[in-house]
Amino acid sequence: MNIALIAHDRMKEDLITFVTAYRNIFAEHTLFATGTTGLKIHEATKLKIHRFQSGPLGGDQEIGALVARNEMDMVFFFRDPLTAQPHEPDITALVRLCDVYAVPLATNMGTAEMLIHGLKRGDLNWRNIIRRKNGEKNE
C-alpha cells in the first residue's frame, strides 16, 4: 500500500517515534512524505521514503494529487491543532480529498494506532480492490 507521512513542526518527533515503533509494518509498504518530515523519518529508521516538497511549498498538494487519483491508500498527518499554519487551505484541501476518496486519515496518535493495527491485520485490503478497479497496480 502507498502511505503518506506528514507532520507539522511541533508534531514531527511524535510521528518519528510512531514510525520507529512500527517500522516493521511500514517497511512492507511504499512510503511518501513531505520534505523535512520524510528526511527525519528516514534518518531515524533508514526506511526508503519518496520525499515531496515541504508542506508550505506544495508537498501537501502533491500528496493530495495522489489521493485524488486513488494512488494513496492511507495518510498519517500529525497536525498541530494549537498553532496556526500559513498553508491551512492546503491542509484543509488534503483532509477534504481523503474524505471524498475514502482514504483513511490519522491526524493524531490515537487514530494512528487504530490504523496501523488495522493495516497489520489486513483490515485495509479493500483499498487494493479500489486500486485494481481503477486500473492501478496492486502494491
Q: What is the pLDDT confidence band of residue 85, given thresholds at 50, 70 and 90? A: confident
Q: What is the CATH number of the domain that holds 45?
A: 3.40.50.1380
What range does the domain containing 89 cover?
Answer: 20-108+124-132
Q: With respect to residue 60, please indicate whether it lies within any of the assigned structural domains.
A: yes
Across 32-56, average pLDDT: 95
What's the rounded Cα separation, in Å, for the pair 98 and 94?
6
How many domains would you assign to the chain? 1
Across 37-47, average pLDDT: 98
Across 1-23, average pLDDT: 97
Q: Supply the pLDDT for residue 136.
A: 54
Q: With respect to residue 6, please indicate whether it lies within any of the assigned structural domains.
A: no
Q: Supply the pLDDT for residue 138.
A: 43
Helix (H) / strand (E) containing 102: none
Kindly report the pTM of this predicted structure.
Answer: 0.90
pLDDT at 139 over 70: no
Catalytic residue positions? 60
